[in-house]
Amino acid sequence: MNIHEYQAKAVLKEFGAPVAAGVMITSPEEAKAAAGKLPGPLYVVKSQIHAGGRGKGRFKELGDDAKGGVRLAKSLEEVAANAAEMLGHTLVTKQTGPAGKVVNRLYIEDGADIARELYLSLLVDRGSGRVAFVVSTEGGMDIEAVAEETPEKILTLPIDPLAGVTEADGEKLAEALKLDGPAREEMPGLAKLLYEAFTGKDMSLLEVNPLIVMEDGHLRVLDAKVSFDNNALFRHPDIAELRDESEEDAKEIEASKYDLSYVALDGNIGCMVNGAGLAMATMDIIKLYGAEPANFLDVGGGASKEKVTAAFKIITADPNVKGILINIFGGIMRCDVIAEGVVAAVKEVGLKVPLVVRLEGTNVEIGKTIINESGLNVIAADDLDDAAQKIVAAVAAAA
Ligand code: ADP
Ligand code: MG
């Protein structure tokens, strides 16, 4: 689960992180009063969407010369004018895709005098099997580009889970970031509290880009992007409350109610598969035959008829879906349950696109009989290769 920057900063502040004062608003009328609570004279108006690259982003409706999604303002009037221009408009950044995201919330923050912009993140490093810091002197910009062009400017530092962040780790980070003065002294403490926040709240990513050194020599967390491990959310009701469903895909929210592993994608072939590995293979083979999957969907091992029905409805409700491929290998999952779920769903919502079904495994004959006797217009397939070719051809023929 992702949260907004202002929420992430509030969480980090609980652990003692140095963040600026700020106020979140949802309407332009609140802008002046919000900024009035801050020290000034420099304010920053920041779009709150679940995507990075806001500073360099552009508002769709405002044309190319309009300023980005993070704006400096030098008076309360300027804050208000920017808020009015930004709220309710669609911000397009490198991470939102061309459709962009509507800005429903703004964070009005105290402006900082920036001397240096650095990069710091914490993530689960699968290589070392540890939580690791990734830091670089090249902050404020696209870290992927830094990794590609100047990898020597990035330090990855895995943390021993028993020892936690040691003084020596803190020194290494300060050294890599070329810190001196107060910032150097603050770095070990900041590293410790960020690590505590990461592990204590079961985060899967904590990215501070930029971490800044201010003109007065102190460190400040200027941007914060945090993701949490969904499997651990039950331990953190305070975090679960921060969820903003308007930032998420409606189909994914529906799928999560039924405990389905579903990810919406950009293609036009809807897939219903059991098992994550088989789902990945199904997506790959669709691509191999020149088409694109509309989703990843793993109905899981012991799915009920209701779950399968819900899954099928989510797929058919997607207007991008021009054909559906059901690919089931019945091990724990029984083919007849899948067949019953599909038939029930079609009875409810109808079927307007070609459907290819490949069933194999437990109760396959019963499953095939259920589908054949349902009167559904189904294209049967023998194996995965055959199924993928048939659905790609059927979608092409219908187009
Ligand atoms: P994003 O990464 O989505 O573009 P950031 O929060 O990193 O958003 O902001 C982009 C840039 O705006 C920063 O790199 C920094 O230069 C500037 N900025 C952001 N917040 C402040 C602030 N409180 N004071 C001064 N400058 C800021
Ligand atoms: Mg940033």
Give tens-digit pLDDT for 191-220: 999 999 999 999 999 999 999 999 999 999
Q: Average pLDDT for residues 239-244, to the nearest whole number? A: 95
Q: Average pLDDT for residues 230-247, to the nearest whole number? A: 94
Residue 30 counted as domain residue = yes
Q: Average pLDDT for residues 281-293, to the nearest whole number? A: 96
Q: Quickly list H helices, the chain.
A: 5-14, 31-36, 76-86, 143-149, 167-176, 181-200, 237-240, 250-257, 276-288, 305-316, 335-349, 364-373, 384-398
**Ligand 1, CB cutoff 6 Å, lining residues:** 20, 44, 52-55, 70, 109, 111-112, 114, 117, 140, 209-210, 222-223
Residue 218 counted as domain residue = yes
Residue 38 counted as domain residue = yes
Identify whether residues 294 and 350 lie together within a single domain: yes
Q: How far apart are the first and last CA of the chain?
A: 37
Ligand 1 atom 23, closest CA: 111
* Cα 260 from Cα 309, distance rounded (Å): 11
Identify whether residues 363 and 259 lie together within a single domain: yes
Q: Which atom of ligand 1 is nearest to the CA of 22?
A: 23
- What is the SS3 assignment for 24? strand
Q: Which ligand is nearest to the CA of 222?
A: 1
| pLDDT tens-digit map of 136-175 | 999 987 888 999 999 999 999 999 999 999 999 999 999 9
Distances (CA, A) of 41 to 72, 81, 82: 11, 16, 16
Identify whether residues 231 and 332 lie together within a single domain: no
Identify whether residues 84 and 135 lie together within a single domain: no
Identify whether residues 60 and 182 lie together within a single domain: no
- Domain containing 222 equals 114-240
Question: Within 10 Å of residue 129's Cβ, how many Cβ atoms?
Answer: 10
Residue 223 C-alpha to ligand 1 middle, in angstroms?
6
Angle between helices 276-288 and 384-398 (to 10 degrees): 50
Q: Which ligand is nearest to the CA of 69?
A: 1
Ligand 1 atom 16, closest CA: 140
Q: Which atom of ligand 1 is nearest to the CA of 117?
A: 14
* Cα 96 from Cα 91, distance rounded (Å): 8
Known catalytic membership, residue 186 = no
Known catalytic membership, residue 43 = no
- pLDDT band at residue 65 under the 50/70/90 scheme: low
pTM beyond 0.85: the answer is: no
Residue 385 counted as domain residue = yes
Identify whether residues 73 and 142 lie together within a single domain: no
Q: Average pLDDT for residues 298-311, to the nearest whole number? A: 84
Contact 154, 147 (CB under 8 A): yes
Count of the separate structural domains present in the chain: 3
Identify whether residues 339 and 382 lie together within a single domain: yes
What angle is formed at CA 264 by the lines to CA 394 and CA 294, rounded to 5 degrees?
Answer: 10
For the chain, the average pLDDT equals 93
Output the six-digit token pair for 47.
């779009």
Q: Residue 95 maps to which CATH number? A: 3.30.1490.20
| Burial class of residue 136 (count of CB atoms within 10 Å of its CB; 0-12, 13-18, 19+) | buried
Look at 171 and 258; give whichever has higher pLDDT: 171
Residue 374 counted as domain residue = yes
Q: Which atom of ligand 1 is nearest to the CA of 68?
A: 4
Q: Which ligand is nearest to the CA of 140?
A: 1
Identify whether residues 133 and 167 lie together within a single domain: yes
Identify whether residues 337 and 363 lie together within a single domain: yes
Identify whether residues 142 and 87 lie together within a single domain: no
